[in-house]
Structure 1
């Protein structure tokens, strides 16, 4: 921690006064630092700090709260601290869920020119390919989800769930819209990546942005959290058939967890396959 804090202070052109580790994800360790000149910052490492900085700037440009980027290098990211009462957790008030619905609706109203992102990303050792597939691979959005989000995990599954996943990937043109609006997605939207102050969302953090169907973020949010009716009222009604689509979209984070953390997540993958009808 000390080395990270001192490197962050140097990146900001100051001298470290104190450092405090923060609760973080499994893939990076954030540290809150205070400099001798009175400035404070959150410093973190990660798979690609310059790419993360660009994603946070894209979220902010959409009019959505996100931490300001103070400085960035190839190995470090320094961010402005945001007020946080502890994130969504399990105790979020209805007003917080309602505000998150509004925030997410605003993010998804920011559209790209196509699906994916200008650069690839990663969750630690799990690569995230973001290039659009070739037109010959089928309808644009089902092809993206099949080729960039589902098929890369086939070799990491036992034979039977791999067979079911491959069949589902082949059938995606029947289950997903061919060309939904290419919404700006957070890409890793779970409760721990939503900062809350009072009854408002103060910031979205740790993004893995790309453009795609807005239901992808909602699927991730419902994998481990339970948004209430206030969220959906603020966000807007989902199109008919969304239950099966959300299961298809939840497959990707379930597969990521399986690869990162082991076989204990295989039942989660199999449950999403069943809900998707595979």
Structure 2
């Protein structure tokens, strides 16, 4: 029995079968297997396993579908396997939109999160800030200027000074998935089945929607199910897309610099 299989048998209380690696590599290792009752499970080996388990529990408590966590801690996250691998279709997108609305209906005590977390080596600071523009500036856009090209850091600093004019002062602190791209939404034969790989915080719901639109084009079915957006939401999209673009630049290199610079131009920075 491999070391991972032995550990899974210990935490689940029975041997697993069919253990096989299916993905990961940049930020974690992902495996699939079947538990002692023959049910499909997904296993992640990642430093933030406990933190992710807490986030999945928060999303589940909000009423949004996620995989049930079977174990989370000491670098190992074990979850039930949800139906996946299907194209969303109109009904799938509608189910996704309704689930996102349910997620964002949950309201937290402040902006940020109870602890800092990370995308691999990219830290995600979550300490409180006096208002939303300050949080987005200090905890996101200006979180690590030393890790960015000097010109981009300078332009972000200039943009941050304008954020009180560009962002709402005090939007309701909704529960955010935090990494809401289409690859983190699962679709089975019956439509939307759940969200995975969260990086949660409390903040403006438009953050998640902007992230989703960065690498996908959600159809009207998604937004019809989600509900109306506040005035000015379209103008704020590039401001919110800057954060995931900066994360990609830091994780994957100069190939994402054009994306960052295009978003900076879009907001006049």
How would you bin the TM-score normalised by the shorter chain? over 0.9
Of residues 136, 155, 167 in structure 1, which corresponds to 2:158? Answer: 167
Deviation at 1:220, TM superposition (A): 0.6
Deviation at 1:15, TM superposition (A): 2.1
Deviation at 1:129, TM superposition (A): 0.7
Task: Confirm or deny: 8 A CA contact 1:41 1:81 kept in the other structure.
Answer: yes
Per-residue Cα deviation, 1:90-140 (whole angstroms, up to 9, x for no partner): x5312211111111001000001111110111111111111112x3xxxx1
Cα distance in 2 between the residues matched to 1:251 and 1:25: 24
Matches within 5 A, 1:186-225: 186-225=177-216
1:245 aligns with 2:241: no
Deviation at 1:64, TM superposition (A): 0.7
Residues 175, 28 of structure 1: alpha-carbon distance in 2 compared, 3 angstrom cutoff? same
In structure 2, the partner of 1:115 is: 111
Matches within 5 A, 1:144-155: 144-155=135-146
Task: Confirm or deny: 8 A CA contact 2:125 2:143 kept in the other structure.
Answer: no
Pairwise CA RMSD: 1.7
Residues 182, 100 of structure 1: alpha-carbon distance in 2 compared, 3 angstrom cutoff? same
Cα distance in 2 between the residues matched to 1:36 and 1:159: 54
Cα distance in 2 between the residues matched to 1:35 and 1:103: 28
1:128 aligns with 2:119: no
Matches within 5 A, 1:1-278: 3-24=3-24, 26-36=26-36, 38-86=38-86, 91-133=87-129, 135=130, 140-278=131-269
Deviation at 1:75, TM superposition (A): 1.1
Deviation at 1:78, TM superposition (A): 0.8
Q: How many pairs are equivalent?
A: 268
Deviation at 1:37, TM superposition (A): 5.2
Residues 5, 255 of structure 1: alpha-carbon distance in 2 compared, 3 angstrom cutoff? farther
Task: Confirm or deny: 8 A CA contact 2:8 2:15 kept in the other structure.
Answer: no
Please, what TM-score do these two structures have when normalized by structure 2?
0.94
Residues 159, 60 of structure 1: alpha-carbon distance in 2 compared, 3 angstrom cutoff? same
Cα distance in 2 between the residues matched to 1:253 and 1:51: 20
Deviation at 1:199, TM superposition (A): 4.6
Residues 194, 83 of structure 1: alpha-carbon distance in 2 compared, 3 angstrom cutoff? same
Please, what TM-score do these two structures have when normalized by structure 1?
0.91
Per-residue Cα deviation, 1:20-78 (whole angstroms, up to 9, x for no partner): 22234731121111245535421112231111101001111111100111112221011
Extract unaligned runs of 5+ from structure 1: none
